[in-house]
Amino acid sequence: MTFWRFLLVLLTFLAPSVSAQTANDKSDLIVAGGTVVTMDGARTIYDDGAVVVRGDTIVAVGPRTEIEAKYQAPQTIDARGELVLPGFINGHTHVPMTLFRGIHDDVTLNDWLYKYIFPAEAKNVNEEFVRWGTRLAAAEQIRSGVTTFADMYYFEDAVAEETAAAGMRGVLGETFIDFPAPDNKSESEMLAYTEKFLKKWQGDPLIHAAAAPHSIYTCSQKTLQDSSALARKYNAPILIHVAEMKKEWDDSEKQNGRSPVQYLNKIGILGPDIVAAHCIFVDETDRKILAQAQVGCVHNPSSNMMLASGVSPVPELRAAGVAVGLGTDGPAGSNNDLDLMEEMDLAAKLAKITRMNPLALNAKAVVEMATIDGAKALHLEKDIGSLEKGKKADLILISLDEPNAVPMYDIYAQLAYALKASDVETVLIGGRVVMRDRKLLTVDGEAAIAKAREYKKKVAASLGMP
């Protein structure tokens, strides 16, 4: 080989690495223009900003002109005239229950559970039901800007498969409860199912499989400890309802000599992997314990109002240093939808009215709860909750071109009190566009709607309802 030929071969070999170096400034997609509300530590807002995505990750965020000078991408999404936000995080729900939406409302929780929901679940819930309920919920949540949700139900592996198919991010907990559930009939079956489930989804980019001991009033100490130990063996999160009703608090004081939070602490459940839904009956000592143990709490204002459960002391929890997210709960019997923007609005107003103080919880705080604080409550703040370099590209575009969207003096107030879920136009999860200009791209919304109508007939017939 002559020297020149050798040089040519050498250059051919070097060529890919040269182009790889310039590719550092290349990307897959740029969301350009629009007001980028980052929710980063400084709460930076770029009036004319841009977000650069490579693979499933954000590689840059900044002023549009700076970004465009530095980055190129084969795909651009024009966000001019829109708000660009991190996707909303629904911190607590039971998505397959979409198919029980409105089955019977305006009754006590006890009647709702024992006369309607438990019989309806026993007669109707199977894997197929859970799949269709999850698809319907995915369509509803994506259309309202939710990119991550935390779920507690049965057949959670089927929930996980449908969630992944819809391209959504989920913290999905298989339920432990001290009575035969629709999927598993005993604690040993629940443990075996959950272990398989946790193993299967380890390392998945979207799905965080979890264990979900239902509550202290439906699980023995042994069930609570066994399910938590199993989750911890796999570094999986633990989802649980905590201090959600007065009766639970009264019974715990009587039976355990301490509050629900103090009981859970004593038996070794609380820790930085716990996501506690509700946290209504939590006094100052409880709040300190929750903060010290780094438990994430999820506030569900619609549910708490609809069931007349009580009001979580959200401002005090936040002041104590507890990460408080927002959830819809429900969607049946306690909401009945999956609209997290509505929860932002209600969280602020509920705190205000119960204290007769309009300063109790402000718009910025509830937007934090729906995004970065929701991520902290789910212990996922390294990956989601804000638009920052290195985080997952979960972001939403919200139209400002609607009568209810103008004029805009304050972005956070607009988000909390004026904009609606129906103003969400485009949604990306892990860099994948799952809704574009209100068109769902990963879920067959129409099929899910048709199936929900079919299920209504079946469920009503099973309960002898018209």
Say whether residue 244 binds Zn ion (CB under 5 A).
no
CB of 246 to Zn ion, least distance (A): 16
What is d(CA 155, CA 96) in angstroms, rounded to the nearest whole number?
A: 10
Cβ-closest position to Zn ion: 329
Residue with smaller CB distance to Zn ion, 174 or 329: 329
Helix residue ranges per DSSP H, 267-313: 284-292, 301-306
Q: Using alpha carbons only, how large is the chain's radius of gyration in Å?
A: 23
CB of 241 to Zn ion, least distance (A): 6
Judged by DSSP in three states, 91 sits in strand
Binding mask 280-319 for Zn ion (x = CB under 5 A): ----------------------------------------
Residue with smaller CB distance to Zn ion, 36 or 239: 239
Nearest Cα to Cα of residue 310 among 281, 282, 285 = 281
Query: Given phi > 0 = left and psi -120 to 50 = alpha, else beta, which region is 243?
Result: left
What is d(CA 382, CA 362) in angstroms, rounded to the nearest whole number?
A: 25
Residue with smaller CB distance to Zn ion, 46 or 116: 116
Judged by DSSP in three states, 327 sits in coil
Residue with smaller CB distance to Zn ion, 6 or 114: 114
Say whether residue 174 binds Zn ion (CB under 5 A).
no
Of the CA atoms within 13 Å of residue 443, those in its CB half-sphere come to: 29
CB of 334 to Zn ion, least distance (A): 7
Residue with smaller CB distance to Zn ion, 334 or 386: 334
- Give whole-number Cα distances, 3 to 9, 10, 17, 158, in Å: 10, 10, 22, 62
CB of 277 to Zn ion, least distance (A): 5
Contacts (CB under 5 A) with Zn ion, residues 320-359: 329
Retrieve residue 119's tokens.
């019989």
| DSSP annotation of 423 | G
Say whether residue 394 binds Zn ion (CB under 5 A).
no
Residue with smaller CB distance to Zn ion, 329 or 368: 329
Positions that interact with Zn ion (CB under 5 A) = 329
